[in-house]
Amino acid sequence: MEQNLKPLIVLSDMTLLFDDRTTGSEEARAKLSGFAELMKNAGHLHTYRMTPLTLWNAASAGMTGVQVIETLCRFSKYDMPSGLADKLKRLMDRFGRLRLNRLAGPGENSLVLSGDEEIMQELQEEQSLQSLLGSRGSGEPFRLSAERRGTVKQELMRLGYPVVDAAGYREGETLPLALRGQLCGGSAFTLRDYQSQAVARFVQGDSAAGGSGIMVLPCGSGKTIIGIGVLAALQCETLILTSSVTSVQQWEAELLDKTTLGNDSIGQYSSQEKRVRPVTIATYNMLATSGREERDYRHMRLFNERDWGLIIYDEVHMLPAPVFRMTADLQATRRLGLTATLVREDGRERDVFSLIGPKLYEMPWKQLEQQGQIAELRCEEVRVPLPESAERNYWIGDSRTRVRLAAENPNKTTVVRHLLDRHKDKKTLIIGAYIRQLKSLASALNAPLLTGEVPHEERAKLYEAFRRGEERVLVVSKIANFAVDLPDAAVAVQVSGSFGSRQEEAQRIGRLLRPKQEDNSAVFYTLVSDGTMEVDYALKRQRFMTEQGYRYGLTTVKAQEGEMN
């Protein structure tokens, strides 16, 4: 292909065909990720799709319809289809045309929904809104109870009308604190420039632009530090929700290390202990645990235990349904979502947008890598043949049998040994989804195994032994997908995963991205049974990382020799 050709073909249904072999493809990819989602990546040809949600997130981050159209025209090989520019403008213009404000006056507990009269008339005819909004006079806004704030936003989002929420937030109970100016790793602790920008974007005075929303940054970039920076800027009692007990403990350690808060101001609310303090850190699993006799979600009362001025949703893409429902009632409290990816495999990204807030800040992975803020990453897919006996059973088995046989391919053990020999001086994680497979690998490698069955105290000891170099290899289950701080991990070998989960791929890779002291590089291997459904799953899993600008090299293993080419 000639190198002077542009990389993009724009289709009328908002699909974008992207060829990464052309001039300017890397710049084009970086631009596209701001307003389109990668759907397929087949060789050098990738398929992106613009959706109302991707465009509204772009608008919330400050991008205009004109800028989107200019980007498409700049990189497109052909003219844009007739009418598409107007369609994109109309979609992006919907963001900001509806606004929620608080009704002025002492003791008022009502909100008003205002917007263009044309849109207001359309909403008045929507049956699903009539019980929520009631009636209004011509040219007047809708008036609604503050308790319906989240429900109305959620329903309007479903109907295709994103709302700019300018109704403001309660201050919450005051909590004096400051960031420490102590030495961390040989230099004074300060927020990095992009972390400061993210904090400023959230806390800015205009409640229509700040106060609730999502920060999207790669693992290892210091999302926890951004959360701490927001807490210090707002000076209010805060509830932090996160994915695991390990993450709860890491949040507490960071708060004690980076702020002037003491032990008496920080509480953990998990299966291990339940202390409610001015800053309380809880797990999603604890909140989503229901009573034995009825689904009363008895721990949800934590949301009302104190006058929280801020709720931080760590790994916000993991929100379980009960927490979504509770969050709909918490719209008067500032909400900060932290994540490496807005991808949800259940398709509830719109609920994240409407109930937590829009994307307020995003930092591309590759940009941080180029700055040395995260490790330089290489991704490699290794195709491993099935043994003859397993291959026969694979083709005569049902779908569940095929999944397990492909995932637990015994030839993967030999490949893992090769990779460990290749990286003898590197700390390595062996990550998988099936406990039986992981137990077999741990036994074969004489390496510690960490699963959900291992007590948290034992996990903490093994993590610490890994950090000190006493253990070079850890075999880990899904518990290591999230919030495990192992900064020296430089190699990961993924032996099995949760089908085609892009979210899981990004999180597992994230275990490697924390910057290293000396060689700031890392390698992520994913082992795939050749000729099986794992190949298709791998392509789906890799989509998110490909969108971030990463490439997966391909290595094949010889069927007889068991050696890697």
In a domain, 125, yes or no: yes
Residue 6, φ and ψ in degrees, nearest 5: -80, 155
In a domain, 565, yes or no: no
In a domain, 175, yes or no: no
* Beta-bridge mates of residue 529: 384
Q: Which residue matches tokens 């979609």? A: 91
Contact 540, 502 (CB under 8 A): yes
Q: ∠ at Cα 542 (536, 543), nearest 5°?
A: 100
Question: What is residue 206's predicted lDDT score, i.e. its pLDDT?
Answer: 47
DSSP state of 290: P
Same domain, 441 and 540: yes
Same domain, 540 and 399: yes
* Beta-bridge mates of residue 257: none
For residues 444 and 440, give the distance between their C-alpha atoms in angstroms, rounded to a whole number: 6
For residues 285 and 294, give the distance between their C-alpha atoms in angstroms, rounded to a whole number: 17
Same domain, 506 and 426: yes
Same domain, 43 and 127: no
Domain edge (last residue) among 363, 390, 425: 363
Q: Pairing mode, if any, of strands 310-314 and 279-283?
A: unpaired
Same domain, 63 and 103: no
Question: What is residue 182's predicted lDDT score, i.e. its pLDDT?
Answer: 45
Taking 70 as the pLDDT cut, the residues of the chain under it are: 1-4, 42, 105-108, 181-188, 205-209, 290-297, 481-485, 487, 559-565
The CATH number that applies at residue 489 is 3.40.50.300
In a domain, 524, yes or no: yes
DSSP state of 478: G
3-class secondary-structure state, position 3 = coil
Could you tell me the two tokens for 312? Answer: 């931080």
Contact 170, 236 (CB under 8 A): no
* Predicted structure pTM score: 0.86
Same domain, 316 and 224: yes
47: left (phi over 0), alpha (psi -120 to 50) or beta: beta
Q: Which of 494, 488, 520 is nearest to 507 (CA)?
A: 494
Question: What is residue 318's predicted lDDT score, i.e. its pLDDT?
Answer: 81
Residue 143, φ and ψ in degrees, nearest 5: -115, 135
Beta-strand ranges (E) seen in 509-551 are 521-529
Contact 437, 407 (CB under 8 A): yes
In a domain, 176, yes or no: no
Same domain, 541 and 398: yes
pLDDT in tens, 194-206: 999 999 999 985 4
Give the domain range for residue 457.
374-556
**Strands of the sheet with 45-49, listed across from one edge:** 8-10, 15-19, 45-49, 37-42
Same domain, 217 and 343: yes
Q: ∠ at Cα 351 (345, 352), nearest 5°?
A: 80
Question: What is residue 51's predicted lDDT score, i.e. its pLDDT?
Answer: 94
The CATH number that applies at residue 110 is 3.40.1170
Question: What is residue 309's predicted lDDT score, i.e. its pLDDT?
Answer: 95
Domain edge (last residue) among 69, 94, 119: 94
Same domain, 404 and 522: yes
Same domain, 241 and 355: yes
Beta-strand ranges (E) seen in 158-211 are 164-165, 183-184, 187-188
Contact 54, 356 (CB under 8 A): no
pLDDT in tens, 115-153: 989 899 999 989 899 888 888 888 899 999 889 999 999
Beta-strand ranges (E) seen in 516-560 are 521-529, 552-556
3-state helix, strand, coil in the chain (%, to 5): 40, 20, 40
Contact 110, 144 (CB under 8 A): yes
Domain edge (last residue) among 306, 332, 363: 363
Q: How many domains does the chain have?
A: 4
For residues 92 and 87, give the distance between their C-alpha atoms in angstroms, rounded to a whole number: 9
Cβ-count burial 108-141 (b if 16+ within 10 Å, e if not): eeebbbbbeeeebeebeeeeebeebbeebeeeeb
Q: Which of 378, 481, 399 is nearest to 433 (CA)?
A: 481
In a domain, 352, yes or no: yes
In a domain, 177, yes or no: no
In a domain, 79, yes or no: yes
Residue 360, φ and ψ in degrees, nearest 5: -95, -25
